[in-house]
Amino acid sequence: MIYTVTLNPALDKTVEIPSFTTDGVNRITSIRTDPGGKGINVSKVVAALGSTSRALGILGGSTGQMISEALSGLNMTCDFLPVEGNTRINLKVVDPIAHTSTEINEPGVPVDPATLQSLLDHLLKLLRHDDIVVLAGSLPVNAPADTYRVWGDACREKGAKVILDSDGAGMVEGVKAKPFLIKPNSEELSHLMGRALDSQQELTAAARELLQTGVQKVIVSMGSRGMLHVLPEQTIFVPGLRVPVKDTVGAGDAVIAALAVAEERGLTLEETLRLSTAAGAASVMCTGTQAASLETIQQLMEQVTYREL
């Protein structure tokens, strides 16, 4: 079973503004809203891939109700705790002329320690050996910096495989729990290691250092250049696919979803590389944080190439 955890979800509002400028008047040409937050995004793509997941998290107010209603028709089990206040709204400004995407994210509602502990206790009661737990996204504003470390340790003790995708303190502390897999981008990996990592060789070396600490797989995203899959026995480079880009937000979440599904299904390494790369590429072809269609992902899988370094 795949479980996703979203402690700081959001309603993602994506607007398209050609030739977007600051300090001036901009006119929106299209708008869409999607239930969001990294864990929720992962669950949406898991559903698109034909698998099921249980999405856990925290929702509040009318915004939280909108997210819950939007998710109700998808192939997932929603398991959210209600909290005081309104779940945040994040604004994504896409400029199709300049090919840019600007994110304006609210901090989110405060969550008390008792609520976090209650949600963790609930998750631990559900977990079985070899279940997959995706801890993804930012933490609530007042959550302890070591939240993902605490959750990761607890899930690992239950025999679950933890996939961690966060940044800042969430990643720095979370990696101490020796997660099964992490997926930093090049900037996040540089921050995690405390030094600039400018080349593919430097990124690979840093990822191998993390393997020595107990992390089993490090997937490094390099944007349009592709991904590095750094595994104990080998390192594989997968070039990015050339596709028309509409919106890059959510692409990393799609990769995580594909990696989780691949692990759950016991796919081969080649199948995992193809599925995760195609899922990420298909995501950028969509507006907002909607999940790409399975048909599009399957078509792109045939175009994936890779080589061992």
Q: How far apart are CA 2 and CA 199, in angstroms?
A: 34
Please provide residue 57's backbone torsions phi and psi, each rounded to the nearest 5 degrees.
170, -160
Reply yes or no on whether 131 is catalytic.
no
Selected catalytic residue, list 34, 131, 247, 253: 253
Cα 130 to Cα 100, 133, 265, distances in angstroms: 40, 9, 12
- Let me know: does 268 contact 295? Beta carbons within 8 Å: no
* The two three-digit tokens of residue 44, written as one number: 């949406």
Residue found by looking up tokens 């994210």 in the block: 105
Q: How far apart are CA 169 and CA 62, in angstroms?
A: 29
CA angle 121, 44, 242 (to 5 degrees): 135
Ranges of beta strands (E only) in the chain are 2-6, 10-16, 30-36, 53-60, 77-83, 88-95, 100-104, 132-136, 161-165, 181-182, 217-221, 226-230, 235-239, 307-308
Contacts of 113 (CB under 8 A, 6+ apart): 144
> Number of helices and strands (H, E) in the chain?
10, 14
Contacts of 144 (CB under 8 A, 6+ apart): 113, 150
Catalytic residue positions, numbered: 253
